[in-house]
Amino acid sequence: MSDTSASGQSSSASTPPSSLPSPQISSLTLSDEEVSKADKAHAVELKAQANKAFTSHDFPGAAKLYGDAIDKNPYDATLWCNRAYARMKLEEFGYALADASHAIKVDPKYAKAYYRRATCYLQILKPQSAIADFKKVLALEPKNEVVRGQMTATQKLIRKIEFEKAIEVEGEKDPVVRCQEIIAEGGCDVESSYTGPKLTLTDGDYGITKEFILGMIQWFKDGKALPKRYVWEIVLGAYKHFQQEPSLVDVELADGVTCDVIGDVHGQFYDMLHLYGMTGEPSEKHYLLMNGDLVDRGSWSIEVILTAFSYKWLYPKFFYINRGNHEAKDMNRTYGFEGEAKTKHGEQSYKLFAHVFTALPLATLISATKPPATQGKAILSEGLKRFFVVHGGLFSKDDVTLDDVRKIDRIGRQPGQEGLMCELLWTDPQVAPGRGPSKRGVGIAFGPDVTRKWCTLNGVTGIIRSHEVRQDGYEIEHDGLCTTVFSAPNYVDQAGNKGAYIRIDSTGTQQYYQFDASPHPAMKPMAYVQGGLGSLMM
C-alpha cells in the first residue's frame, strides 16, 4: 500500500482518462481512396499495441493507440469498433457511440459494431435505440442466442420502465409516509431471532450511537444483514436531516477544523472502510463530505449507503453527502443498486432509498474562516478561500449563481437529461476552451475559460468535483481552478487506479491523500444487475 500526500496547488501526475475525438469523427467520408500498404501495416502494428494495452487495463492508452491506428487507416472498421470498446471502459459513451457508428459506416455488415452501439445506448439510458441495433445483429447472426437473450431482457426493461411511469402518473404514496404507516401498523418489527448490534430504543423511538455503527460495520464484514426495520430507521434518521438542508449546503471551517472531501465510492465497501481508517471518524473538529455516487457498480452498495446514512444520522453537522448522478432511479435500475436493495431488503426498502436520494443536497460550499498565508492569484471572497463541491460540474450558460443552485427544488425530483440539476450531476471538464458535447452522451463539457469566468462571478476559489476515474485518484485541472477527486481504487476491479481524498483546513489549504485498493470477498461488480444485462454494463 502506498498512502501518500501532497499539498498546495501543485499539479497531479495523473494521466487524463479521456481521449479526444479523432478528426475523422466529423470529417470521414467513405470513398475508394487508397491507403498505402505502409500505412496499413503501421495501423496493424498500432492495433497490436492497443490490444496489449487494453488487455493490461490501460484503457486510456488503448484508446489513444487505436486512434493513432485510425489516423493511418480510417477504413478499417475493427479499429473504430475497438476504440469504441476502450472508450466504453472509460465511460465515454458519447464518444464510443460515435466510434461504433463510424465502424458501421465503414462496414454496414459488421455485427460487432452494432452490438457495441447497442451497449452504448443502454449505458446512456436509451434502451429503445439499443433494441434496433440488437435486431441488426440478429439479422446478420440469426443464431446468436446470447444477443437474442439480451434483446429480450432489454424489451422487458422497457416494459418495466413504462409500467413504473404509469404508476407515477397515478400518484403512488410517498415512500417515507408509506414506511411510517407500515411501522405504525406493526408490519416491520425487528425479528426476535436477530442477535446483531442494537439501536437504542427510548419511549418507542429508535436512536443511534457510535457503538452501533462500529458493530454494524463488523456485522457487514461478517456477511450479515440488518433487519429491515433497522434499515428503515437509519434511512429515515438521515432523511430528517437531508430534507432540512438547502440544495447548496454552506459549511464553514472554523479555526482548527478540517474537512475531507471524498469522491465516488460506488459500492466498494471494503475500500471505503480503508478510506475511513485514513480520514478518521467525523467529529466537531473534522468533517467528512462524500461527493456523490456512493452506490451502483460495486456489489456492497447497501453496506456503503447504510454506513454513510448512519453517520449522517449520528453526526448531522459533521458528516455531509452530495447527490451524484448515480443517486437516481434510472441509474439504479441499470447499474445494480435497485436489484441489490430489493434482494437484500425488499421492494419497499428500495422505494424508500430512491425517494431519500432525491433529498440529498446538490452541492456544498466549503468556506475558510482564516485568510490564506499567501494569496497569490487565488480568487477570494472577502479575503477568504471557498470551494464549490459538486459531483459533476458547471453549466451550459455563464450566468448561473450560487443562489440559483440554492433555489433548485430537488426533493422528489430526478435529474433528467437537461437543466441545472442534470448539469450539476453530469458535466465534465475539458482541455479546450468554451463548451463542447459530452463524451458521456449526457450533459456538456466545459473548458478552463468557463471555469474561470464562473469562479470569478461567484467569488469561488475553486471547484472540487468527482464523477470520473483518475489514475492517481485526483487531478488538478483548469489552471488550478478545477480538481477531480475519485475514491474508488481499482474501479470495478479493472481500472487499476488509486483512490484519493482532499483535506481542506480553515485557511483553505488543500492536501491530497492517495490509497490503493483493499482485498474484498469473492463477489464481482454488478452482481445484482437485473434481467441478465450485468455483463453489458462492465
188 vs 182: CA distance, rounded Å: 6
Alpha helix segments (H runs only) across 77-174: 77-89, 93-106, 111-123, 127-140, 145-170
> Strand 474-477 vs strand 482-485: parallel, antiparallel, or unpaired?
antiparallel
Active-site residue, 326 included: yes
Backbone phi, psi, residue 200, to 5°: -75, 155
179 vs 229: CA distance, rounded Å: 10
> Strand 248-253 vs strand 286-290: parallel, antiparallel, or unpaired?
unpaired
Q: How far is CA 536 from CA 17, 153, 231, 245, 488, in A?
A: 21, 11, 30, 37, 21
To the nearest 10°, report the CA torsion of 276, 282, 286, 288. 70
536 vs 513: CA distance, rounded Å: 33
Of the listed 102, 266, 274, 326, which one is catalytic? Answer: 326
Q: 474 - beta bridge partners?
A: 485
Alpha helix segments (H runs only) across 222-257: 228-242
Amino acid identity, position 22: S
Lookup: cell for 510 = 488543500
Backbone phi, psi, residue 359, to 5°: -85, -10
Lookup: cell for 154 = 432489454
Q: How far is CA 535 from CA 469, 527, 538, in A?
A: 20, 9, 6
Place of cell 456512493: 294
356 vs 364: CA distance, rounded Å: 18
85 vs 83: CA distance, rounded Å: 5
Q: Are the CB atoms for 359 and 316 separated by under 8 Å? A: no
Beta strand segments in 328-479, E: 363-368, 386-390, 428-429, 435-437, 444-446, 462-465, 474-477
- Active site amino acids: 326
